Structure 1
Amino acid sequence: MRVAPRRTDRLETMSLSKSGPANGPRGLVAAAAVADVVLILVFAAIGRDAHARDGIITGVFLTAWPFLAGAAAGWLATSAWRNPMSLRRAGTGAWLGSLIGGMLLRALTGQTVVVPFIVVALLSLGVLLMGYRALYRIIRRRRG
């Protein structure tokens, strides 16, 4: 009887070791978290630039914080750290968490929430937060 080889690209089956390499499970979790933060900041910066808003640094953080908080909630809700490059779990959690949480927090704090902005955020955050994960998967598959 032949046993199928175990998939090693699934982080859910790997333990988080304290002395693992930088590109090991811990490093991948940190890299994905940083990538999500940076891409949400890029989203906010592009939006502010498109609307010619002042306050380059503080303005970007003012715009981004609800989306960052929403993405963090998405990570927690989906336990994204178990497989941070998963499209289904981590990608969807970060994407929809940042979108839904971001819009709710914007509404609660008196910031603008209009349908066109929701649509732009849905598409932009989806491309950014799901896109790099999809590219990662494609590259991993091609490398074998």
Structure 2
Amino acid sequence: MPSTPDSPASRSSSSLSAWRGASLVSDALLIFMFAALGRRTHESGMDPGGILWTALPFLLAWAAATAATRPDRTCTRLWPAGVVVWVVTVIGGLLLRVLFGDTAAPSFQLVTAVVLGVFLLGRRAVTTLVVRARRPSRT
């Protein structure tokens, strides 16, 4: 029997779609925050263009990884999709950063891996807990 617009199945599906969309936006915002925090820490200026330039390699790598992991099904999953997105974002972002003419000192690589790990994996962990808590219990 198909679900009607007001049926529990329909509400659940639209709620999950909203979580997926919010998850994708949150990831992108967290990457921007990573770039802004880094620029602020190193007194590189907080102009929007500079923040975008710093974030761009990581955003491109994240977008490719996210698309490859089928975000319509996996954007809230920590394992394996979240770990794949994190690793590809870090490695791909660092490679693109160097190709764009910036540096990637070992200390920057370590900070990048840790901060993006906390941000991207932490967001997925929190999202998973919230989605589970909001899911009706099956008794």
TM-score exceeds 0.5 = yes
Alignment match, 1:88: 79
Flag the structure with higher helix content.
Answer: 2
Structure 2 spans left out of the alignment, 5+ residues: 1-9
Which of 123, 131, 136 aligns to 2:122? It is: 131
Kindly report the root-mean-square deviation, in angstroms, between the aligned alpha carbons of the 2 structures: 1.8
Question: How far apart, in 2, do the equivalents of 1:57 and 1:72 lie?
Answer: 20
User: How far has the Cα of 1:92 moved from its partner?
Assistant: 1.6
Supply the distance in 2 between the matched residues of 1:54 and 1:141 (Cα, whole angstroms). 40
Residue 94 of structure 1: how far off its partner (Å) = 2.5
CA distance in 1 between counterparts of 2:69 and 2:132 reads: 24
- The correspondence for 1:56, drawn from 47, 69, 94, is 47
What SS does structure 2 have at the residue aligned with 1:54?
coil
Higher-RCO chain (CA-CA 8 Å, sequence separation at least 6): 2
| Correspondence for 2:94 among 103, 109, 124 | 103
Q: Aligned partners of 2:51 and 2:36: how far apart in 1?
A: 5
- TM-score scaled by structure 2? 0.80
Distance in 2 between residues matched to 1:27 and 1:141, nearest whole Å: 15
Q: Point out the more displaced range, 113-122 or 28-37.
A: 28-37
Is the 2:40–2:46 contact (alpha carbons within 8 Å) kept by the matching residues of 1? no
Separation in 2 of the partners of 1:97 and 1:32? 18
- Shift of the alpha carbon at 1:73? 1.1
Q: Once the two structures are superposed, what CA deviation does each residue of 1:48-70 show, in whole Å capped at 9, x if it has no partner?
A: 00000125211110000000000
Distance (whole Å) between structure 2 residues aligned to residue 141 and residue 78 of structure 1: 21
State the SS of the aligned residue for 1:130. Answer: helix
Question: Does the 8 Å CA contact 1:81/1:90 hold for their aligned counterparts?
Answer: no
Provide the residue aligned with 2:65 in structure 1. Answer: 74
Partner of 1:114: 105
Aligned to 1:33: 24
Aligned length: 124
C-alpha separation in 2, matches of 1:107 and 1:81: 31
Cα distance in 1, alignment partners of residues 131 and 77 from structure 2:
12
Q: Deviations over 1:55-104 (max 9, x none)?
A: 52111100000000000111122223312100013322321121111011
Using the TM superposition, name which of 127-136 and 34-43 deviates more. Answer: 127-136
Residue of structure 2 equivalent to 1:65: 56
